[in-house]
Structure 1
Amino acid sequence: MSKKQRRAIPRFATPIVETHCHLDYLGEAGLGETLAAAADVGIERVVTIAVAPDNLATVRRIAEADARVWCTQGIHPHEAGSYDDAVEAAIREGAAHPRVVAIGEIGLDYYYDHTDRGAQRDAFARQLALAAELALPVVIHSRDADEDTEAILGEHLPGLSRRGVIHSFTSGAGLAGFALDAGFYLGFNGITTFRNADNVRAIVELTPVEQLLLETDAPYLTPVPYRGTTNAPCYLPFVAEKIAELKGLPVEELLAIARRSSYALFFPGDAPALAA
Protein backbone atom coordinates (compact mmCIF):
# COMPACT_ATOMS: atom_id res chain seq x y z
CA MET A 1 0.00 0.00 0.00
CA SER A 2 1.36 3.41 -0.94
CA LYS A 3 1.72 6.29 1.51
CA LYS A 4 -0.93 8.15 -0.49
CA GLN A 5 -3.39 5.31 0.04
CA ARG A 6 -2.65 5.20 3.77
CA ARG A 7 -3.38 8.92 4.10
CA ALA A 8 -6.77 8.31 2.49
CA ILE A 9 -7.81 6.05 5.36
CA PRO A 10 -9.34 8.01 8.27
CA ARG A 11 -7.47 8.02 11.56
CA PHE A 12 -9.50 8.48 14.75
CA ALA A 13 -8.42 9.31 18.29
CA THR A 14 -9.94 6.16 19.81
CA PRO A 15 -7.92 2.96 19.27
CA ILE A 16 -9.65 0.15 17.35
CA VAL A 17 -9.71 -3.61 17.91
CA GLU A 18 -9.76 -5.77 14.78
CA THR A 19 -11.82 -8.71 16.06
CA HIS A 20 -11.68 -11.01 13.01
CA CYS A 21 -9.15 -11.42 10.22
CA HIS A 22 -6.89 -14.08 8.73
CA LEU A 23 -3.34 -12.75 8.87
CA ASP A 24 -1.82 -15.95 7.53
CA TYR A 25 -3.91 -15.58 4.37
CA LEU A 26 -2.43 -12.12 3.90
CA GLY A 27 1.06 -13.61 3.64
CA GLU A 28 3.35 -14.10 6.58
CA ALA A 29 6.27 -12.61 4.63
CA GLY A 30 4.59 -9.21 4.60
CA LEU A 31 3.09 -9.45 8.06
CA GLY A 32 5.20 -6.65 9.49
CA GLU A 33 4.00 -4.24 6.82
CA THR A 34 0.38 -5.33 7.30
CA LEU A 35 0.54 -4.67 11.03
CA ALA A 36 2.41 -1.40 10.57
CA ALA A 37 -0.27 -0.18 8.17
CA ALA A 38 -2.91 -1.16 10.74
CA ALA A 39 -1.09 0.65 13.55
CA ASP A 40 -0.80 3.76 11.37
CA VAL A 41 -4.61 4.10 11.35
CA GLY A 42 -5.11 3.31 15.03
CA ILE A 43 -5.59 -0.47 15.13
CA GLU A 44 -4.23 -1.44 18.54
CA ARG A 45 -5.06 -5.16 18.72
CA VAL A 46 -5.75 -7.81 16.10
CA VAL A 47 -7.41 -11.22 16.48
CA THR A 48 -6.35 -13.64 13.75
CA ILE A 49 -8.66 -16.60 13.27
CA ALA A 50 -7.99 -20.33 12.91
CA VAL A 51 -10.07 -22.28 10.40
CA ALA A 52 -8.43 -25.66 9.74
CA PRO A 53 -6.17 -28.29 11.31
CA ASP A 54 -3.20 -27.05 9.31
CA ASN A 55 -3.37 -23.46 10.55
CA LEU A 56 -4.01 -24.01 14.26
CA ALA A 57 -0.28 -23.77 14.94
CA THR A 58 0.22 -21.05 12.31
CA VAL A 59 -2.05 -18.52 13.99
CA ARG A 60 -0.47 -19.26 17.36
CA ARG A 61 2.98 -18.62 15.89
CA ILE A 62 1.82 -15.32 14.40
CA ALA A 63 0.35 -14.26 17.75
CA GLU A 64 3.52 -15.24 19.59
CA ALA A 65 5.61 -13.09 17.27
CA ASP A 66 3.83 -9.76 17.81
CA ALA A 67 2.42 -8.28 21.01
CA ARG A 68 -0.45 -6.68 19.08
CA VAL A 69 -1.82 -10.02 17.86
CA TRP A 70 -4.01 -12.66 19.51
CA CYS A 71 -5.61 -15.73 17.95
CA THR A 72 -8.28 -18.42 18.14
CA GLN A 73 -8.39 -22.20 17.76
CA GLY A 74 -11.14 -23.97 15.84
CA ILE A 75 -12.35 -25.63 12.65
CA HIS A 76 -14.47 -23.78 10.05
CA PRO A 77 -17.55 -25.58 8.68
CA HIS A 78 -15.80 -25.88 5.31
CA GLU A 79 -13.25 -28.11 7.08
CA ALA A 80 -15.73 -30.00 9.26
CA GLY A 81 -15.09 -33.26 7.41
CA SER A 82 -11.61 -33.32 8.97
CA TYR A 83 -12.90 -33.02 12.52
CA ASP A 84 -12.08 -36.04 14.67
CA ASP A 85 -10.75 -36.86 18.14
CA ALA A 86 -7.19 -35.98 17.14
CA VAL A 87 -8.21 -32.57 15.80
CA GLU A 88 -10.26 -31.91 18.91
CA ALA A 89 -7.25 -32.79 21.06
CA ALA A 90 -5.11 -30.37 19.04
CA ILE A 91 -7.65 -27.57 19.54
CA ARG A 92 -7.83 -28.30 23.27
CA GLU A 93 -4.04 -28.27 23.59
CA GLY A 94 -3.69 -25.13 21.47
CA ALA A 95 -6.38 -23.31 23.42
CA ALA A 96 -4.16 -23.41 26.51
CA HIS A 97 -1.75 -20.99 24.82
CA PRO A 98 -1.81 -17.54 26.49
CA ARG A 99 -2.40 -15.77 23.16
CA VAL A 100 -5.57 -17.77 22.41
CA VAL A 101 -8.76 -15.84 23.21
CA ALA A 102 -11.59 -17.97 21.76
CA ILE A 103 -12.73 -21.16 20.06
CA GLY A 104 -13.42 -20.45 16.41
CA GLU A 105 -14.12 -20.09 13.61
CA ILE A 106 -16.87 -22.68 14.06
CA GLY A 107 -20.43 -23.00 12.78
CA LEU A 108 -22.47 -23.91 9.73
CA ASP A 109 -22.33 -22.96 6.04
CA TYR A 110 -25.20 -24.27 3.92
CA TYR A 111 -24.51 -21.75 1.14
CA TYR A 112 -21.35 -23.39 -0.18
CA ASP A 113 -21.99 -26.84 1.35
CA HIS A 114 -18.32 -27.77 1.01
CA THR A 115 -18.83 -30.37 3.73
CA ASP A 116 -21.69 -32.73 4.55
CA ARG A 117 -24.23 -30.91 6.69
CA GLY A 118 -24.31 -33.67 9.27
CA ALA A 119 -20.54 -33.40 9.68
CA GLN A 120 -20.88 -29.62 10.02
CA ARG A 121 -23.49 -29.95 12.75
CA ASP A 122 -21.39 -32.51 14.62
CA ALA A 123 -18.21 -30.42 14.48
CA PHE A 124 -20.12 -27.31 15.54
CA ALA A 125 -21.72 -29.05 18.52
CA ARG A 126 -18.46 -30.66 19.65
CA GLN A 127 -16.59 -27.36 19.51
CA LEU A 128 -19.32 -25.57 21.43
CA ALA A 129 -18.99 -28.25 24.09
CA LEU A 130 -15.22 -27.75 24.09
CA ALA A 131 -15.62 -23.99 24.52
CA ALA A 132 -17.93 -24.62 27.45
CA GLU A 133 -15.41 -27.00 28.99
CA LEU A 134 -12.57 -24.49 28.59
CA ALA A 135 -14.66 -21.43 29.56
CA LEU A 136 -13.75 -19.64 26.33
CA PRO A 137 -16.01 -17.56 24.08
CA VAL A 138 -16.85 -18.74 20.56
CA VAL A 139 -16.47 -17.15 17.13
CA ILE A 140 -19.34 -18.41 14.96
CA HIS A 141 -19.79 -18.54 11.19
CA SER A 142 -23.37 -18.99 10.00
CA ARG A 143 -24.50 -18.73 6.38
CA ASP A 144 -27.89 -19.87 5.11
CA ALA A 145 -28.20 -22.01 8.23
CA ASP A 146 -30.17 -19.83 10.63
CA GLU A 147 -32.51 -22.52 11.93
CA ASP A 148 -29.82 -25.12 12.68
CA THR A 149 -27.43 -22.51 14.07
CA GLU A 150 -30.06 -21.37 16.53
CA ALA A 151 -31.06 -24.92 17.47
CA ILE A 152 -27.52 -26.16 18.11
CA LEU A 153 -26.43 -22.98 19.83
CA GLY A 154 -29.54 -23.11 22.01
CA GLU A 155 -28.67 -26.61 23.20
CA HIS A 156 -25.26 -25.43 24.37
CA LEU A 157 -26.15 -22.03 25.84
CA PRO A 158 -26.26 -23.24 29.47
CA GLY A 159 -22.58 -24.20 29.35
CA LEU A 160 -21.26 -21.19 27.43
CA SER A 161 -20.35 -18.93 30.30
CA ARG A 162 -18.58 -16.39 28.06
CA ARG A 163 -20.89 -16.51 25.02
CA GLY A 164 -19.20 -15.12 21.88
CA VAL A 165 -19.86 -13.49 18.51
CA ILE A 166 -21.58 -14.42 15.28
CA HIS A 167 -19.11 -12.85 12.92
CA SER A 168 -19.74 -11.32 9.48
CA PHE A 169 -23.42 -11.33 10.28
CA THR A 170 -25.57 -11.73 7.15
CA SER A 171 -28.40 -13.81 8.61
CA GLY A 172 -31.98 -12.83 9.31
CA ALA A 173 -33.60 -10.90 12.11
CA GLY A 174 -34.72 -14.13 13.79
CA LEU A 175 -31.19 -15.41 14.42
CA ALA A 176 -30.05 -11.90 15.30
CA GLY A 177 -32.74 -11.56 17.93
CA PHE A 178 -32.00 -14.99 19.38
CA ALA A 179 -28.27 -14.30 19.60
CA LEU A 180 -28.66 -10.82 21.04
CA ASP A 181 -31.18 -11.98 23.64
CA ALA A 182 -28.74 -14.73 24.64
CA GLY A 183 -25.97 -12.20 25.20
CA PHE A 184 -23.93 -12.69 22.04
CA TYR A 185 -22.28 -9.99 19.97
CA LEU A 186 -22.74 -9.57 16.22
CA GLY A 187 -19.69 -8.80 14.09
CA PHE A 188 -19.94 -6.49 11.08
CA ASN A 189 -17.43 -5.74 8.34
CA GLY A 190 -17.10 -4.25 4.86
CA ILE A 191 -20.39 -5.79 3.74
CA THR A 192 -22.06 -2.87 5.52
CA THR A 193 -20.65 -0.57 2.82
CA PHE A 194 -21.79 -2.68 -0.16
CA ARG A 195 -24.50 -1.20 -2.38
CA ASN A 196 -26.75 -4.28 -2.24
CA ALA A 197 -26.42 -5.02 1.49
CA ASP A 198 -29.56 -3.32 2.83
CA ASN A 199 -30.40 -6.53 4.72
CA VAL A 200 -27.14 -6.33 6.69
CA ARG A 201 -27.54 -2.62 7.36
CA ALA A 202 -31.03 -3.33 8.71
CA ILE A 203 -29.54 -5.76 11.25
CA VAL A 204 -26.93 -3.17 12.26
CA GLU A 205 -29.73 -0.72 12.93
CA LEU A 206 -31.63 -3.12 15.20
CA THR A 207 -28.53 -4.32 17.09
CA PRO A 208 -27.81 -2.53 20.39
CA VAL A 209 -24.59 -0.61 19.91
CA GLU A 210 -23.14 -2.32 23.00
CA GLN A 211 -23.42 -5.67 21.17
CA LEU A 212 -21.65 -4.65 17.94
CA LEU A 213 -18.10 -5.70 17.10
CA LEU A 214 -15.93 -4.35 14.29
CA GLU A 215 -14.05 -6.67 11.94
CA THR A 216 -12.65 -6.88 8.42
CA ASP A 217 -12.54 -10.66 7.76
CA ALA A 218 -9.44 -9.78 5.73
CA PRO A 219 -8.36 -10.70 3.13
CA TYR A 220 -12.06 -10.91 2.17
CA LEU A 221 -14.90 -8.36 1.99
CA THR A 222 -12.91 -5.18 1.42
CA PRO A 223 -15.05 -2.12 2.23
CA VAL A 224 -15.87 0.69 -0.15
CA PRO A 225 -13.90 2.67 -1.37
CA TYR A 226 -11.31 -0.10 -1.85
CA ARG A 227 -13.70 -2.89 -2.77
CA GLY A 228 -12.10 -5.10 -5.41
CA THR A 229 -8.67 -5.07 -3.75
CA THR A 230 -7.31 -7.36 -1.06
CA ASN A 231 -8.71 -6.48 2.34
CA ALA A 232 -6.52 -5.76 5.36
CA PRO A 233 -7.02 -4.64 8.98
CA CYS A 234 -6.03 -1.07 8.05
CA TYR A 235 -9.37 -0.65 6.27
CA LEU A 236 -11.35 -1.09 9.48
CA PRO A 237 -11.93 2.68 9.94
CA PHE A 238 -14.21 2.62 6.88
CA VAL A 239 -16.36 -0.02 8.59
CA ALA A 240 -16.46 2.08 11.74
CA GLU A 241 -17.57 5.14 9.79
CA LYS A 242 -20.43 3.26 8.13
CA ILE A 243 -21.68 1.67 11.34
CA ALA A 244 -21.51 5.00 13.18
CA GLU A 245 -23.58 6.53 10.38
CA LEU A 246 -26.16 3.74 10.61
CA LYS A 247 -26.38 4.07 14.40
CA GLY A 248 -26.56 7.87 14.28
CA LEU A 249 -23.51 8.27 16.50
CA PRO A 250 -20.27 10.22 16.30
CA VAL A 251 -17.54 7.85 15.12
CA GLU A 252 -15.47 8.36 18.27
CA GLU A 253 -18.42 7.38 20.46
CA LEU A 254 -19.07 4.27 18.40
CA LEU A 255 -15.39 3.32 18.56
CA ALA A 256 -15.22 3.75 22.34
CA ILE A 257 -18.23 1.46 22.82
CA ALA A 258 -16.94 -1.15 20.35
CA ARG A 259 -13.53 -1.11 22.04
CA ARG A 260 -15.07 -1.81 25.45
CA SER A 261 -17.13 -4.63 23.98
CA SER A 262 -14.11 -6.15 22.23
CA TYR A 263 -12.12 -6.14 25.46
CA ALA A 264 -15.04 -7.55 27.46
CA LEU A 265 -15.32 -10.51 25.09
CA PHE A 266 -11.71 -11.30 24.19
CA PHE A 267 -9.54 -9.58 26.79
CA PRO A 268 -11.54 -9.50 30.04
CA GLY A 269 -8.37 -9.40 32.13
CA ASP A 270 -7.46 -6.07 30.55
CA ALA A 271 -10.95 -4.58 30.78
CA PRO A 272 -10.47 -2.98 34.23
CA ALA A 273 -7.42 -1.06 32.97
CA LEU A 274 -9.38 -0.02 29.90
CA ALA A 275 -12.25 1.31 32.04
CA ALA A 276 -9.81 3.23 34.23
Structure 2
Amino acid sequence: MSAPQPMLIDSHCHLDFPDFADDLDGIVSRAEAAGVAKMVTISTRVRRLPELLKIAERFPDVFCSVGTHPHHVDEEDGIPAEELIGFASHPKLVAFGEAGLDYFYEHGSREAQHRGFRVHIAAARATGLPLVIHTRDADEDCAKILREEMANGPFKAVLHCYTGGRELAMTAIELGLSIGFTGILTFKKTEALRELAAELPADRILVETDSPYLAPGKFRGKRNEPSYVVETAKLLAELRGVSLDEIARQTTENFFALFNKVPRPVGAA
Protein backbone atom coordinates (compact mmCIF):
# COMPACT_ATOMS: atom_id res chain seq x y z
CA MET A 1 0.00 0.00 0.00
CA SER A 2 1.38 3.42 -0.96
CA ALA A 3 1.98 6.04 1.73
CA PRO A 4 -0.76 8.66 2.17
CA GLN A 5 -0.24 11.94 0.35
CA PRO A 6 1.04 14.78 2.54
CA MET A 7 -1.56 17.48 3.14
CA LEU A 8 -0.64 20.88 1.75
CA ILE A 9 -2.34 24.29 1.65
CA ASP A 10 -2.25 26.90 -1.10
CA SER A 11 -2.37 29.98 1.09
CA HIS A 12 -2.50 32.42 -1.83
CA CYS A 13 -4.10 32.04 -5.26
CA HIS A 14 -6.38 34.12 -7.48
CA LEU A 15 -9.22 31.89 -8.60
CA ASP A 16 -11.31 34.89 -9.72
CA PHE A 17 -8.80 35.86 -12.41
CA PRO A 18 -9.89 35.35 -16.04
CA ASP A 19 -7.19 32.68 -16.55
CA PHE A 20 -9.32 30.26 -14.52
CA ALA A 21 -12.80 31.23 -15.68
CA ASP A 22 -13.42 28.17 -17.86
CA ASP A 23 -11.65 25.62 -15.67
CA LEU A 24 -12.57 26.23 -12.03
CA ASP A 25 -13.95 22.76 -11.39
CA GLY A 26 -10.85 21.19 -12.91
CA ILE A 27 -8.53 23.50 -10.99
CA VAL A 28 -10.09 22.61 -7.65
CA SER A 29 -10.32 18.89 -8.47
CA ARG A 30 -6.64 18.71 -9.46
CA ALA A 31 -5.63 20.55 -6.31
CA GLU A 32 -7.55 18.14 -4.12
CA ALA A 33 -6.09 15.16 -6.00
CA ALA A 34 -2.60 16.56 -5.33
CA GLY A 35 -3.25 16.73 -1.59
CA VAL A 36 -4.06 20.44 -1.39
CA ALA A 37 -6.64 20.47 1.39
CA LYS A 38 -7.51 24.18 1.41
CA MET A 39 -7.06 27.18 -0.87
CA VAL A 40 -7.39 30.89 -0.12
CA THR A 41 -8.31 32.98 -3.14
CA ILE A 42 -6.95 36.44 -2.47
CA SER A 43 -8.70 39.73 -3.14
CA THR A 44 -7.09 42.53 -5.13
CA ARG A 45 -10.08 44.91 -5.14
CA VAL A 46 -12.61 45.34 -2.36
CA ARG A 47 -15.31 46.18 -4.91
CA ARG A 48 -14.90 42.76 -6.51
CA LEU A 49 -15.47 40.84 -3.29
CA PRO A 50 -18.84 39.42 -4.49
CA GLU A 51 -16.97 37.51 -7.23
CA LEU A 52 -14.61 35.93 -4.69
CA LEU A 53 -17.40 35.05 -2.31
CA LYS A 54 -19.28 33.35 -5.12
CA ILE A 55 -16.27 31.10 -5.76
CA ALA A 56 -15.61 30.47 -2.07
CA GLU A 57 -19.25 29.57 -1.47
CA ARG A 58 -19.18 27.17 -4.42
CA PHE A 59 -16.28 25.05 -3.19
CA PRO A 60 -16.14 23.75 0.41
CA ASP A 61 -12.33 23.93 0.60
CA VAL A 62 -11.92 27.41 -0.91
CA PHE A 63 -11.85 30.54 1.27
CA CYS A 64 -11.16 34.19 0.47
CA SER A 65 -9.85 37.52 1.68
CA VAL A 66 -10.90 41.11 1.05
CA GLY A 67 -8.58 43.97 0.28
CA THR A 68 -7.03 46.42 -2.15
CA HIS A 69 -3.78 45.51 -3.91
CA PRO A 70 -1.30 48.41 -4.06
CA HIS A 71 -1.79 48.50 -7.84
CA HIS A 72 -5.41 49.57 -7.30
CA VAL A 73 -5.16 51.89 -4.30
CA ASP A 74 -5.94 55.04 -6.24
CA GLU A 75 -9.27 53.68 -7.46
CA GLU A 76 -10.18 52.41 -3.97
CA ASP A 77 -8.55 55.11 -1.86
CA GLY A 78 -10.59 56.06 1.16
CA ILE A 79 -12.25 52.73 1.97
CA PRO A 80 -12.31 52.81 5.79
CA ALA A 81 -11.22 50.01 8.10
CA GLU A 82 -14.78 49.82 9.41
CA GLU A 83 -16.03 48.74 5.99
CA LEU A 84 -13.40 46.01 5.76
CA ILE A 85 -14.21 44.87 9.28
CA GLY A 86 -17.87 44.59 8.33
CA PHE A 87 -17.07 41.88 5.80
CA ALA A 88 -15.42 39.69 8.43
CA SER A 89 -18.71 38.18 9.56
CA HIS A 90 -18.94 36.11 6.38
CA PRO A 91 -17.91 32.53 7.23
CA LYS A 92 -15.80 32.14 4.08
CA LEU A 93 -13.87 35.41 4.53
CA VAL A 94 -10.74 34.55 6.49
CA ALA A 95 -8.20 37.34 5.89
CA PHE A 96 -7.59 40.89 4.71
CA GLY A 97 -5.49 41.95 1.74
CA GLU A 98 -3.54 41.65 -0.26
CA ALA A 99 -2.41 45.12 0.65
CA GLY A 100 0.96 46.79 1.05
CA LEU A 101 3.60 48.54 -1.01
CA ASP A 102 4.80 48.07 -4.58
CA TYR A 103 7.54 50.47 -5.66
CA PHE A 104 8.51 48.33 -8.66
CA TYR A 105 5.47 49.12 -10.79
CA GLU A 106 4.06 52.02 -8.74
CA HIS A 107 0.66 51.70 -10.43
CA GLY A 108 -0.75 53.30 -7.27
CA SER A 109 0.59 56.47 -5.69
CA ARG A 110 2.87 55.92 -2.70
CA GLU A 111 0.70 58.09 -0.46
CA ALA A 112 -2.39 55.99 -1.20
CA GLN A 113 -0.39 52.78 -0.81
CA HIS A 114 0.71 53.87 2.67
CA ARG A 115 -2.82 54.85 3.67
CA GLY A 116 -4.28 51.61 2.36
CA PHE A 117 -1.63 49.50 4.06
CA ARG A 118 -2.36 51.07 7.44
CA VAL A 119 -6.13 50.76 6.99
CA HIS A 120 -5.81 47.03 6.29
CA ILE A 121 -3.54 46.61 9.31
CA ALA A 122 -6.20 48.33 11.44
CA ALA A 123 -8.83 45.88 10.17
CA ALA A 124 -6.57 42.92 10.93
CA ARG A 125 -5.84 44.24 14.40
CA ALA A 126 -9.52 44.82 15.17
CA THR A 127 -10.71 41.39 14.05
CA GLY A 128 -7.78 39.07 14.72
CA LEU A 129 -7.85 37.93 11.08
CA PRO A 130 -4.48 37.86 9.30
CA LEU A 131 -3.35 40.45 6.77
CA VAL A 132 -1.83 39.23 3.51
CA ILE A 133 0.95 41.69 2.67
CA HIS A 134 2.25 42.44 -0.82
CA THR A 135 5.64 44.14 -0.73
CA ARG A 136 7.99 44.67 -3.65
CA ASP A 137 11.05 46.94 -3.84
CA ALA A 138 9.82 48.73 -0.71
CA ASP A 139 11.67 46.96 2.09
CA GLU A 140 12.60 50.02 4.14
CA ASP A 141 9.15 51.63 4.11
CA CYS A 142 7.43 48.30 4.68
CA ALA A 143 9.57 47.58 7.74
CA LYS A 144 8.96 51.09 9.06
CA ILE A 145 5.18 50.80 8.76
CA LEU A 146 5.16 47.33 10.28
CA ARG A 147 7.17 48.51 13.29
CA GLU A 148 5.03 51.62 13.79
CA GLU A 149 1.77 49.73 13.49
CA MET A 150 2.83 46.87 15.72
CA ALA A 151 3.64 49.46 18.37
CA ASN A 152 0.00 50.57 18.12
CA GLY A 153 -1.23 47.07 18.89
CA PRO A 154 -0.55 43.52 17.71
CA PHE A 155 -1.85 42.06 14.47
CA LYS A 156 -1.22 38.91 12.43
CA ALA A 157 0.18 38.95 8.91
CA VAL A 158 2.10 37.09 6.23
CA LEU A 159 4.49 38.67 3.76
CA HIS A 160 3.34 36.69 0.76
CA CYS A 161 5.38 35.68 -2.29
CA TYR A 162 8.48 36.88 -0.52
CA THR A 163 11.25 38.29 -2.71
CA GLY A 164 12.58 41.00 -0.41
CA GLY A 165 15.83 41.20 1.47
CA ARG A 166 16.97 39.42 4.59
CA GLU A 167 16.58 42.51 6.78
CA LEU A 168 12.86 42.93 6.07
CA ALA A 169 12.27 39.21 6.55
CA MET A 170 13.99 39.27 9.93
CA THR A 171 12.02 42.35 10.94
CA ALA A 172 8.84 40.48 10.10
CA ILE A 173 9.97 37.45 12.11
CA GLU A 174 10.91 39.68 15.05
CA LEU A 175 7.40 41.16 14.96
CA GLY A 176 5.80 37.72 14.98
CA LEU A 177 4.80 37.65 11.31
CA SER A 178 5.08 34.87 8.73
CA ILE A 179 6.70 34.55 5.29
CA GLY A 180 5.13 32.91 2.24
CA PHE A 181 7.14 31.28 -0.54
CA THR A 182 6.08 30.62 -4.14
CA GLY A 183 7.49 28.90 -7.20
CA ILE A 184 10.04 31.71 -7.44
CA LEU A 185 12.16 29.51 -5.17
CA THR A 186 12.54 27.13 -8.11
CA PHE A 187 13.73 29.82 -10.53
CA LYS A 188 17.38 30.28 -11.45
CA LYS A 189 19.41 33.03 -9.77
CA THR A 190 17.41 33.01 -6.53
CA GLU A 191 20.28 31.93 -4.32
CA ALA A 192 19.73 34.63 -1.69
CA LEU A 193 16.04 33.82 -1.45
CA ARG A 194 16.79 30.11 -1.13
CA GLU A 195 19.29 30.77 1.64
CA LEU A 196 16.67 32.81 3.47
CA ALA A 197 14.03 30.09 3.03
CA ALA A 198 16.48 27.59 4.51
CA GLU A 199 17.15 29.57 7.68
CA LEU A 200 13.80 31.04 8.73
CA PRO A 201 12.12 29.59 11.82
CA ALA A 202 10.11 26.49 10.93
CA ASP A 203 6.93 27.86 12.51
CA ARG A 204 6.87 31.00 10.33
CA ILE A 205 6.88 29.65 6.76
CA LEU A 206 4.00 29.06 4.37
CA VAL A 207 3.75 27.80 0.80
CA GLU A 208 1.57 29.30 -1.91
CA THR A 209 1.26 29.52 -5.68
CA ASP A 210 0.14 33.11 -6.35
CA SER A 211 -1.49 31.39 -9.33
CA PRO A 212 -2.16 31.95 -12.17
CA TYR A 213 1.34 33.49 -12.03
CA LEU A 214 4.81 32.15 -11.15
CA ALA A 215 4.44 28.50 -12.14
CA PRO A 216 7.29 26.55 -10.51
CA GLY A 217 10.00 24.32 -11.92
CA LYS A 218 8.87 22.01 -14.69
CA PHE A 219 5.70 24.08 -15.25
CA ARG A 220 7.60 27.34 -15.82
CA GLY A 221 6.02 29.40 -18.58
CA LYS A 222 2.61 27.77 -18.18
CA ARG A 223 -0.44 28.92 -16.27
CA ASN A 224 0.11 28.21 -12.60
CA GLU A 225 -2.56 26.53 -10.48
CA PRO A 226 -2.97 25.45 -6.84
CA SER A 227 -1.96 21.83 -7.42
CA TYR A 228 1.54 23.03 -8.33
CA VAL A 229 2.18 24.17 -4.74
CA VAL A 230 3.58 20.66 -4.29
CA GLU A 231 6.61 21.64 -6.40
CA THR A 232 7.42 24.60 -4.16
CA ALA A 233 7.01 22.43 -1.06
CA LYS A 234 9.41 19.83 -2.49
CA LEU A 235 12.15 22.40 -3.04
CA LEU A 236 11.55 24.05 0.32
CA ALA A 237 11.94 20.66 1.98
CA GLU A 238 15.19 20.07 0.09
CA LEU A 239 16.54 23.49 1.06
CA ARG A 240 15.76 22.90 4.71
CA GLY A 241 17.06 19.33 4.76
CA VAL A 242 13.76 17.74 5.75
CA SER A 243 11.26 15.42 4.10
CA LEU A 244 8.32 16.57 2.01
CA ASP A 245 6.05 15.06 4.67
CA GLU A 246 7.68 17.24 7.31
CA ILE A 247 7.48 20.46 5.29
CA ALA A 248 3.85 19.67 4.47
CA ARG A 249 3.06 19.04 8.13
CA GLN A 250 4.84 22.19 9.30
CA THR A 251 3.50 24.60 6.68
CA THR A 252 -0.02 23.22 7.08
CA GLU A 253 0.14 23.67 10.84
CA ASN A 254 1.50 27.19 10.32
CA PHE A 255 -1.38 27.96 7.98
CA PHE A 256 -4.07 26.91 10.43
CA ALA A 257 -2.34 28.80 13.25
CA LEU A 258 -2.34 31.99 11.18
CA PHE A 259 -5.61 31.59 9.25
CA ASN A 260 -7.38 30.29 12.33
CA LYS A 261 -10.86 30.96 10.96
CA VAL A 262 -10.35 28.22 8.38
CA PRO A 263 -11.66 24.91 9.76
CA ARG A 264 -9.23 22.03 9.84
CA PRO A 265 -10.16 19.02 7.72
CA VAL A 266 -12.17 16.37 9.52
CA GLY A 267 -9.77 13.92 11.16
CA ALA A 268 -6.80 16.32 11.05
CA ALA A 269 -4.86 16.88 14.23
TM-score range, shorter chain: over 0.9
SS at match of 2:173: helix
Residues 260 and 271, structure 1, Cα contact 8 Å, conserved in 2: no
Aligned-residue offset at 1:98: 0.9
Between the two proteins, the alignment pairs up a number of residues equal to: 266
SS at match of 1:104: strand
Structure 1's 270 and 54: CA in aligned 2 closer, same or farther, altered over 3 A? closer
Aligned-residue offset at 1:205: 1.5
Provide TM-score, normalisation by structure 1: 0.90
Residues 63 and 93, structure 2, Cα contact 8 Å, conserved in 1: yes
Give the share of equivalent positions with the same residue, in percent: 36
Give the aligned residue type for 1:23.
L
Q: Alpha-carbon deviations, 1:13-43, whole Å to 9, x = none?
A: 2211110000011323321110001111111
Provide TM-score, normalisation by structure 2: 0.92
Q: Alpha-carbon deviations, 1:108-127, whole Å to 9, x = none?
A: 00011111111111111111
Aligned-residue offset at 1:267: 2.7
1:230 aligns with 2:230: no
Structure 1's 54 and 12: CA in aligned 2 closer, same or farther, altered over 3 A? farther
Taking the aligned partners of 2:161 and 2:232, their CA distance within structure 1 comes to 12
* Match among 234, 240, 245 for residue 247 of structure 1: 240
Aligned-residue offset at 1:199: 2.1
Aligned residue number for residue 134 of structure 1: 127
Give the aligned residue type for 2:251.
A
Aligned residue number for residue 19 of structure 1: 11
Aligned residue number for residue 206 of structure 2: 213
Structure 1's 160 and 59: CA in aligned 2 closer, same or farther, altered over 3 A? farther
Q: Alpha-carbon deviations, 1:130-188, whole Å to 9, x = none?
A: 22122221100100001110111111114554411000000001101000111111000
Aligned residue number for residue 109 of structure 1: 102
- Structure 1 stretch 122-131 or stretch 221-230: which is displaced more? 122-131
- Structure 1 stretches lacking a partner, 5+ long: 1-10
- Structure 2 stretches lacking a partner, 5+ long: none
Aligned-residue offset at 1:197: 1.2
Aligned-residue offset at 1:85: 3.9
Taking the aligned partners of 1:86 and 1:259, their CA distance within structure 2 comes to 32
- Structure 1 stretch 128-137 or stretch 185-194: which is displaced more? 128-137
